[in-house]
Amino acid sequence: MNNNRASSKRNVARVFKVAAVVAGLALTSAAFAQDRVRWKVPIAFPSNLPAIGIPVTKMAKTVGDISGNNIQLKLYEPGELIPPFEILDSVSQGKFKAGYTWVGYDAGTMPVFNLFGGGVPFGLEPPGYLAWHYFGEGKDLLEKAYKSYDVHPLLCGIVGPEGAGWFKKPIKTVEDLKGLRMRFAGIGGQVLERFGVSVNLIPAGDLYQAMERGTIDATEFSSPAADPVLGMHEIVKYYYMPGWHQSATALHLLVNGEAWRGLSDQARSQLEVSCRSTVLEAYAESEYGNAHALKFFESEGVTVGRLPDEMLKQFQEVSKEVLAEISAKDEMFKTVMESQEKWMKLFGEWHYKGYLPRKFFSSEEK
């Protein structure tokens, strides 16, 4: 009897061991069955830049972690593989499976990319943009715009308003802008040209040298959180807000269409989830960093000011003219612009009535 019981216990133990081995093999097989992605990913911004560079490094780690390192994205700094303004073309042509960029850099070939990048004067701020993208028409329109390039775009970061710019002299009226040579991106650059500004686009890595050597007289680049790394405060002492030209900066992971279609549903979901986490990461980092950056600039002897309302009104009037002119020439631009404006009107009512006026938070307005 005792021998039979002992034998029975040994048999049960064997069954559990076999089951455990089978389960382990099943899990291992599932892990090996998942896509093994090894992509070189050029990025448009230095990976040490807060809010617009650092978050993509965390995205690459996140997608690696949740995929059991089956998806590995190796990031390459701007210019390391290709110039930062060539990311879309390289991804579209299949030279790289993916790239991380601000899509407004490609507005020269397709103006609507400015709208998706947040580069529309007096446009949607991050909360409104995210609502439009995820729950409104934004995501569908974005994918439609990239169809002709055979590229699948993923929203993969967003930051708050940019600074209006760094200047070598005080800016009090639009007259002070005449004759300035300024680095500026997006539709805002076209607006400034009508006020006598000579505009050009320079990559982040070249800005310090351009300003120091006098190649340009002024520059905008990103939100305050990213600007300390550029070092503008060392050579320029006038910094102005708000970023009327870009109320939000939306960043995207562009994936080659064939590469995207070749992924399993699981791998696509892992990339999507990782990018969504990066949207939160970038926005939170930019808001935290922006507040600290303004204080830092002041401690370095920089005059941090706000453009007069009269200037902003003048910018807004000219912005409407420029946007109307582009819409009249470009049907896709018009469609997306109308979608954003329709949502802004609805969202604006909620925002105005639902949120406390900013004067309750600003020491200058109390």
Please give the sequence-ordered ranges of beta strands (E in DSSP) within the chain, or none if there are none.
Answer: 37-42, 71-76, 98-101, 151-159, 165-167, 181-183, 198-200, 218-219, 238-241, 249-256, 303-306
Whether 37 and 272 have beta carbons less than 8 Å apart is answered as: no
pLDDT of residue 31: 44
The first and second tokens of residue 36, run together, are 């093994």
The first and second tokens of residue 126, run together, are 């991050």
Residue 51: burial class (beta carbons within 10 Å; 0-12, 13-18, 19+): buried
Residue 76's beta-bridge partner residues? 42
Distance of CA 279 to the CA centre of its chain: 8
- The CATH H-level superfamily of 35-160+249-288 is Bacterial extracellular solute-binding protein, family 7 (3.40.190.170)
From-to residues of CATH 3.40.190.10 in the chain: 165-247+291-329
Spell out the SS3 assignment of 48-104: CCCCCCHHHHHHHHHHHHHCCCCEEEEEECCCCCCCHHHHHHHHHCCCCCEEEECHH
pLDDT of residue 364: 63
pTM, two decimals, is 0.86
Spell out the SS3 assignment of 297-328: HHHCCCEEEECCHHHHHHHHHHHHHHHHHHHH
Distance of CA 345 to the CA centre of its chain: 24
Please give the sequence-ordered ranges of beta strands (E in DSSP) within 187-273, or none if there are none.
Answer: 198-200, 218-219, 238-241, 249-256
Tally of CB atoms within 10 A around 226: 28
From-to residues of CATH 3.40.190.170 in the chain: 35-160+249-288
Query: What is the Cα–Cα distance from 333 to 32, expressed in whole angstroms?
Result: 44
Query: What is the Cα–Cα distance from 94 to 92, expressed in whole angstroms?
Result: 5
- Identify the CATH assignment for 165-247+291-329 out of 3.40.50.200, 3.50.50.60, 3.30.70.260, 3.40.190.10: 3.40.190.10
* DSSP code string of 280-302: HHHHHHHHHHHHHHHHHHHHTT-
Query: What is the Cα–Cα distance from 256 to 241, expressed in whole angstroms?
Result: 37
Query: What is the Cα–Cα distance from 235 to 237, expressed in whole angstroms?
Result: 7
**Is omega for the bond preceding 203 within 30 degrees of 0, making it cis?**
no
Nearest to 54 by CA among 65, 62, 45, 63: 45
Whether 155 and 103 have beta carbons less than 8 Å apart is answered as: no
pLDDT in tens, the chain (366 residues): 445 545 554 554 454 454 444 444 333 344 445 679 999 999 999 999 888 899 999 999 999 999 999 999 999 999 999 999 999 999 999 999 999 999 999 998 999 999 999 989 999 999 999 999 999 999 999 999 999 999 999 999 999 999 999 999 999 999 999 999 998 878 999 999 999 998 887 777 788 888 888 888 898 888 898 888 888 899 889 999 999 999 999 999 999 999 999 999 999 999 999 999 999 999 999 999 999 999 999 999 999 999 999 999 999 999 999 999 999 999 999 999 999 999 999 999 998 899 888 777 766 654
Residue 198's beta-bridge partner residues? 181
